Amino acid sequence: MAEEVSELAKAFMAMIPVAAGGAIGIAGSLGVNFLQQRAKRTEILRVKAEEALQYLYKSVLWLEEYRAQCLLDGEPMIKSWPPIDILEATVTLYFPDIEKELAAFVTEFTKNTSLAQDFSKEKFEQGKMPIDHKERWKAKNVELKSRFNAVKGRIRELANL
């Protein structure tokens, strides 16, 4: 009986390195998979952050073009929708933590769009641009720029750029 137990013990002792090696292999595979998924997610966030920043800048450029058309022509003839819609979608999907900052930016963007329309209306009614239009626009842009910088900073922070 003692001989059988020692044979059994020898068999189990021989299996310990095999089992330990298998466990290490499985743990290593899981660890590598985890790190690969994390790196892939980081890369996706970096790409989406770059897209969001591009649309953030494009939104401000669109607004400037819209304002210029309101000032010059009185009737804006922009052929494209504002890129702010794509910015909102990208942020909502990939960076939901900054929806508050984005909402503040969108509010200021909308106020500036309305102000440009007011300039157009005043120009039509008075036959010339309002005298204080530059000061009014500059005052509105201060808040827009502040909101712009808040969104830009948070996107960079979340994407580790």
pTM (2 decimals)? 0.69
Q: Which residue has the higher pLDDT, 142 or 4?
A: 142
Is 3 inside any structural domain?
no
Please report which confidence band the pLDDT of residue 2 belongs to, taking 50, 70 and 90 as the band edges.
low
Give the mean model confidence (pLDDT) for residues 50-57: 91
**In the chain, how many domains are there?**
1
Is 26 inside any structural domain?
no
The pLDDT score that the predictor gives to residue 30 is 65
* pLDDT surpassing 80 at residue 79: no
Please give the span between the terminal C-alpha atoms of the chain, in angstroms, as a whole number.
69
| Cα-Cα-Cα-Cα dihedral sign, residues 65, 67, 73, 74 | positive
Which residues, in sequence order, are CB contacts of 95 under 8 Å at separation 6+? Answer: 45, 48, 49, 52, 154, 155, 158, 159
Range of the domain at 51: 47-159
Is 23 inside any structural domain?
no
* pLDDT surpassing 80 at residue 114: yes
Is 33 inside any structural domain?
no
Is 99 inside any structural domain?
yes
Tell me the average pLDDT of the chain. 79
Q: Report d(CA 14, CA 35) in Å as an integer.
A: 33
Is 16 inside any structural domain?
no
- Provide the percentage of residues in the chain whose pLDDT is more than 70: 76
